[in-house]
Amino acid sequence: MRVLILHTPKGGSGKSTLARELAVAASRTMQVALADLDPQGTTSGWYQRRDAKVPALVTLDPAKPLQQLVDAGVDLLVIDTPPGQPAYLGALLASADAVLVPVRPTPDDLLAAAPIAASLSQSRAWAFVLSQVPPRTRLLVGALRQLAALGRVAPVQLTFRADYPAAAITGQVASEFSGKAADEATALWTYVQTILGATDATTAEGKPGQSDRAQGRRAGSRDAR
Ligand SMILES: Nc1ncnc2c1ncn2[C@@H]1O[C@H](COP(=O)(O)OP(=O)(O)OP(=O)(O)O)[C@@H](O)[C@H]1O
Ligand SMILES: [Mg+2]
């Protein structure tokens, strides 16, 4: 079983949105469990509004082993975490196969990026994902440059689009509809598989299991064009 964690101490950066998009995209080809560690219950509330049976929402005690999920045949566990840095999180982040860090292209989010990168130095594989990017903004180029200097940056960004919250009204995600939001969310899942080391697409984005500065720079320069 692979474990993918959405994490950033910054509130509102897009952890829950990304967790849901990626869990639903993954559940098209594998058995996926989604865990909500946030006492705000954003993802649990979304799940209650959802009709589809997959992914499965599971309750997780971060202090306990995940063997039960492995025994149940889960291929991928996606964990949505709360804002802040709860004490249990360090061990969980270090044990994950991949950690995604959503960042809005704002000075406030970017200020937090360096300490987050430092805190993930023990993690197997992690990447920043630009989130809620306003269309046609010059903020993107600077953000990509700054993030690429700190670590790997996903070559796919989630644009600020009403399709994300609109889909959540009915417990769905953007990729369950058609449109640009669906395309970018699906493309992000394709990329995430490469850092999870779960597909043969690995070679396109570099060696999985590393925080790769050069890789981040390549992604950044390509996207900044
Ligand atoms: N790409 C996007 N376009 C438009 N709205 C978005 C996008 N991503 C997230 N949002 C909205 O921004 C808000 C914050 O997103 P989300 O809940 O995913 O962040 P979070 O990091 O999980 O927040 P928290 O730290 O409170 O858990 C939500 O209302 C969500 O619907
Ligand atoms: Mg959240």
For residue range 12-28, list pLDDT tens digits in order: 999 999 999 999 999 99
Q: Report residue 152 as tokens.
A: 């790997």
Residue 96 domain boundaries: 2-218
199 pLDDT band (50/70/90 cuts)? very low
pLDDT digits (tens, 9 = 90+) for 119-144: 998 899 999 999 999 999 999 999 99
pLDDT digits (tens, 9 = 90+) for 25-41: 999 999 999 999 999 99
Distance of CA 194 to the CA centre of its chain: 13
Residues 171, 144 contacting (CB under 8 angstroms):
no
Distance 113 CA to ligand 2 centre (A): 18
The mean per-residue pLDDT over the stretch 102-127 comes to 96
The three state secondary structure string of the chain is CEEEEECCCCCCCCHHHHHHHHHHHHCCCCCEEEEECCCCCHHHHHHHCCCCCCCEEECCCCCCCCHHHHHCCCCEEEEECCCCCCCCHHHHHHHCCEEEEEECCCHHHHHHHHHHHHHCCCCCCEEEEECCECCCCCHHHHHHHHHHCCCCECCCCCECCCHHHHHHCCCCCHHHCCCHHHHHHHHHHHHHHHHHCCCHHHHHHCCCCCCCHHHHHHHHHHHHC
4 pLDDT band (50/70/90 cuts)? very high
Q: Supply the pLDDT for residue 122.
A: 85
**pTM score, whole prediction:** 0.90
Q: Name the residue of 13, 17, 137 to mutate for ligand 1: max ligand atoms within 8 A of Cβ.
A: 17
Q: Which residue would you say has higher pLDDT here, 98 or 63?
A: 98
Is it the case that residue 214 has pLDDT exceeding 70? Answer: no
In a domain, residue 18? The reply is yes
Residue nearest to atom 3 of ligand 1 (CA): 160
In a domain, residue 42? The reply is yes
In a domain, residue 35? The reply is yes
Q: Report residue 112 as tokens.
A: 């937090």
Q: Name the residue of 5, 101, 164 to mutate for ligand 1: max ligand atoms within 8 A of Cβ.
A: 164
pLDDT digits (tens, 9 = 90+) for 158-196: 999 999 999 999 999 999 999 999 999 999 999 999 999
Residues contacting 140, CB < 8 A, separation 6+: 105, 130, 133, 157, 223, 224
Rounded CA separation 159/148 (Å): 18
In a domain, residue 225? The reply is no
In a domain, residue 224? The reply is no
Nearest to 50 by CA among 210, 224, 169, 183: 169
Q: Supply the pLDDT for residue 197.
A: 84
Q: Supply the pLDDT for residue 206.
A: 33
Residue nearest to atom 25 of ligand 1 (CA): 11
Is it the case that residue 201 has pLDDT exceeding 50? Answer: no
pLDDT digits (tens, 9 = 90+) for 43-93: 999 999 999 999 999 999 998 989 999 999 999 999 999 999 999 999 999
In a domain, residue 124? The reply is yes
Ligand 1 lining (C-beta closer than 6 Å): 11-17, 38, 40, 42, 83, 131-132, 158, 160-161, 164-165, 168
CATH of the domain at 71: 3.40.50.300
Instruction: Please tell me the total count of domains within the chain.
Output: 1
In a domain, residue 223? The reply is no
Amino acid type, 12: G
In a domain, residue 70? The reply is yes
Q: Supply the pLDDT for residue 223.
A: 30
